[in-house]
Copies of this chain bind each other. A is one copy, B any other.
Amino acid sequence: MRFSSKIEKCGLSPMRKFHPYQLEAEARGRNIYHLNIGQPDISTPQAFFDAVKDFQQPVLAYAPSPGIPAYIEAVKGYYDRLGIQLESGDILATTGGSEALEIVLACILDEGDEILIPEPFYPNYNTFVRVTGASIRPIHTTPEEGYRYADRAKIEPLINEHTRAIMITNPGNPTGVVLSHEEMRLMADIAKEHGLFIIGDEVYREFVYGGEKLASLAEFTDVAENVIVIDSVSKRFSACGARVGALISKNKALMGHAMKICQGRLCSATLDQVGAAALYGVDPGYFDAVREEYKRRRDTCMAGLAKIPGVVCECPKGAFYIMAKLPVDDTDKFQTWLLQEFDDNGDTVMFAPGEGFYATPGKGKDEVRLAYILKQEDLERAMEVLAKGIAAYNAR
Contact = CB atoms under 8 A, between A and B. Distances in A.
B48 A257 contact: no
A243 B264 contact: no
A241 B62 contact: yes
Interface stretch (A26-34, A101-109, A281-289): A101-109
Nearest to A241: B270
Contacts of A153: none
Given A63-B241, A225-B1, A240-B61, A7 B266 contact: no
A196 B41 CA distance: 46
A12 B259 contact: yes
A142 interface: no
A106 B7 CA distance: 7
A196 B3 CA distance: 11
Contacts of A7: 106-108, 257, 260-261
Given A52-B52, A196-B1, A269 B95 contact: yes
Contacts of A113: 4
Interface in A38-56: 39-44, 48-49, 52-53, 55
Given A3-B253, A241-B270, 7 more contacts: A1-B226, A10-B260, A39-B61, A41-B59, A59-B238, A60-B241, A124-B263
8 contacts: A1-B196, A4-B109, A10-B260, A52-B53, A60-B238, A127-B264, A241-B270, A241-B271
